[in-house]
Structure 1
């Protein structure tokens, strides 16, 4: 798998306009453009999602990543790339679509 590395400065959000910050790995030894890289164990909490179903708020609250096997490891967990599969979830863990990932990711680092 190839793609741009996700780091603490990468813009991540849900498909309904909510925003999620990339939480860096426990180790701050891996930096991308001076910002901590993010592994597949990272917790992403979504805020500001305005999604409704039949007028009832059903916001995205988190993002769950599904990294492919065989990638570069960071703290024993796969390094997240913009191309890593993920889903935005409600508080009840109902999938609501893929996250929107982009902007501010380091153009000069690619894996693959």
Structure 2
């Protein structure tokens, strides 16, 4: 897939579109879980495309502070602003997009990481 911005210019580098099949981890190794199944979602290779409108859950984060468990619980992605690919008005999450993991108290705990070699879908160029 080739993406052309609303200004008519092509982006310089291909970026993977993240989907429910992408492997994403919190900064401490916890697994970011796909959201609830959306029957009308846009799909890439059968998997629902992720958008910045979604808050995703984190499972298995081992993070502790002074011996007290403070695991990551959720991930939110930043909206890149105008332009770009959108689904239902929400920006599609691309590999390398700004995101933040949060604890149960909503304290920021670091950015999520897309694990290379996960199932790939479409790319935006």
Fold conserved between structures, TM > 0.5: yes
* 1:21 and 2:33 correspond: yes
Please, which runs of 5 or more residues in structure 2 have no aligned partner?
A: 1-10
SS in 2 for 1:64: strand
Q: How many residues align?
A: 110
Whole-Å separation in 2 of the counterparts to 1:29 and 1:15: 28
Residue of 108, 112, 115 corresponding to 1:99: 112
* 1:59 and 2:74 correspond: no
SS in 2 for 1:96: strand
Partner of residue 79, structure 1: 92
Please, which runs of 5 or more residues in structure 1 have no aligned partner?
A: none
TM-score normalised by structure 2 residue count: 0.78
Larger radius of gyration: 2
TM-score normalised by structure 1 residue count: 0.86
Where is the strand percentage greater, Structure 1 or Structure 2? 1
